[in-house]
Amino acid sequence: MNEFDELCPKVWKTFDIIGKRWNGLIIYVLMSGPKRFSEIHSSIPSLSKRMLTERMKELEEEGIVIRHVIPERPVRIEYILTKKGSELGMILGPVSKWAKTWIK
């Protein structure tokens, strides 16, 4: 087995995560710090609440996002990037810079 054979599934999985519709934007929004569901939704208004819920569950299962319950009255829930999620998010900065330069 060569290096390409070992890396290919990992690279494929990475592109699957960030390439899934909305995931990149959600991670990008969370790069600025913890956000409540409504804050994420207002940052990406064309994303439906149902789809946001689905994507947040998927990102949580992948270990990219943590759902943090704050025991106040009323209970608050914030979403925070994990270390894994933050490191993934760091690659989105250059993508954003590229987009600002090249996308009309």
Sign for the CA dihedral angle at 40, 43, 44, 46 comes to positive
CB 28 within 8 A of CB 99: no
pLDDT surpasses 80 at 5: no
pLDDT surpasses 90 at 93: no
Helix (H) or strand (E) holding 76: strand 76-81
Q: Dump pLDDT digits (tens) for 23-58.
A: 999 999 999 999 999 999 999 999 999 999 999 999
Rounded to whole angstroms, the Cα distance separating 88 from 84 reads 6
Pick the CATH number of 3-102 from 1.10.10.10, 3.90.1150.10, 3.30.70.520, 3.30.465.10: 1.10.10.10
* Prediction pTM value: 0.86
Nearest 5°: CA angle at 16, between 99 and 84? 85
